[in-house]
Amino acid sequence: MTTAPLAFETRSPLRILIWAAPIAVLLVVLPRAVDPYQTILLAYGLVMAIAVLGFNLLLGYTGLLSFGHSAYFGVGAYAVAFMVKYLHVESMELFVLGAIGASVLVTALFGYVCVRYTKIFFSILTLALSQVLWSLAFKFFWVTGGTDGLRVPTPKLLGVVTGESEDKIYFLAHGYYYYVLVIFTLCVALMWLIVHSPFGKALQAIRDNETRARFIGLRIRRYRLVAFLVSGVFTGIAGALWVPLNGLTTPDILYWPFSGEIVFMAVLGGFRNFTGPIVGAVIFNYLKSYAVGFTVYWQAFMGVILVVLVMVLPTGVVGTAKLLGAYARRRFAR
């Protein structure tokens, strides 16, 4: 990578709180203000935000572009579906734990192979391995349901039966939305701690200059493997949270264009920012939902956005907003 090393800003926790508190309040109040459809869309956005947050630990902080993150999302989702089908589990907490376990196994295996390479070979290898899982899910239809997928009923949250008595829309827009919101907040906080820890700094050093990082004595491959593991597990958690929302898991979420969408979201928000992936995922989700409702050619619409984005605004929405903010501040300081 030839881009100039960009430091991730380190702000005092207090200043972040000034930013984050109104947003948190807004997210909590929102289901009371808007109709359930909007809340469910936002829940989808937050779930994808967890996945992209994990993805960006590799792209933005470690400098590795994975084109196979659909695999870990799919592992999380299918882990839940298998727990429903074969173990008759109903508890959402167990689903998340199961998804974490499954994605640790798969990312450890895939990561061990993939982190030997960087750049384009890393991208192609992650893509090829994700397609192994896709073809298995696709062909072993007696286990995975093939293209019909597997149905996942409404789960129990915190051991309480929530889905059966009420209608499903209400459940998703209220109880489940808050459940997603809590896990989302935990994931954001955890990721913030990770990227600001010495481990996160080491990853950025490796991204900016591998040779120097090695001279300092960093074990590059081990750092990359751990980053890969964390990244895959975040995406796996997102997969687990996504299934009850969607009610169904199909091999489509393992197919490689879905990995492309994850990359798209990161770039849309700006992968050189901590908040970029979150903003990108939420915006992408709205854009896609409205484009799908508006035209059958939504894919071309999104494609044009992607092309224009990488041509004109390579730093994404958040990066551009920061640039404009800095510019405005300079103008007013004068």
Q: Site residues for other proteins, window 31-60 (CB under 8 A)? A: 59
Strand partners of residue 150: 249
On whether the CB atoms of residues 162 and 154 are closer than 8 A, the answer is: yes
The 272-311 site mask, x for binding other proteins (CB under 8 A), equals ------------------------xxxxx-xxxxxx--xx
User: Measured from the CB atom, is 95 or 274 closer to other proteins?
Assistant: 274
Out of 124, 194, 313, 321, the only residue in the binding site for other proteins (CB under 8 A) is 124
Regarding 11 and contact with other proteins (CB under 8 A), the answer is: no
> d(Cα 286, Cα 293) in Å, to the nearest integer?
11
Nearest to 133 by CA among 73, 71, 91, 88: 71
User: Measured from the CB atom, is 25 or 300 closer to other proteins?
Assistant: 300
Structural tokens at position 204: 């950025």
Regarding 128 and contact with other proteins (CB under 8 A), the answer is: yes
Q: Which residues contact 240 (CB under 8 A, 6 or more apart)?
A: 76, 77, 79, 80, 95, 96, 98, 99, 100
User: Measured from the CB atom, is 125 or 172 closer to other proteins?
Assistant: 125
> d(Cα 124, Cα 119) in Å, to the nearest integer?
9
Regarding 139 and contact with other proteins (CB under 8 A), the answer is: yes
Regarding 121 and contact with other proteins (CB under 8 A), the answer is: yes
User: Measured from the CB atom, is 129 or 229 closer to other proteins?
Assistant: 129
Structural tokens at position 164: 């059966």
Size of the site for other proteins (CB under 8 A): 46
Out of 67, 73, 228, 242, the only residue in the binding site for other proteins (CB under 8 A) is 67
Torsion of CA 298, 302, 307, 310, to 10 degrees: 180
Question: Radius of gyration (Cα) for the chain, nearest Å?
Answer: 20
Structural tokens at position 228: 């890969």
Structural tokens at position 238: 């997102």
Of 25-33, 96-104, 115-123, 215-223: span binding other proteins (CB under 8 A)? 115-123
Regarding 257 and contact with other proteins (CB under 8 A), the answer is: yes
- The site for other proteins (CB under 8 A) is made up of 1-3, 59, 65, 67, 113, 116-117, 119-121, 123-125, 127-129, 131-132, 135-136, 138-140, 255-257, 260, 263-264, 267, 296-300, 302-307, 310-311, 314
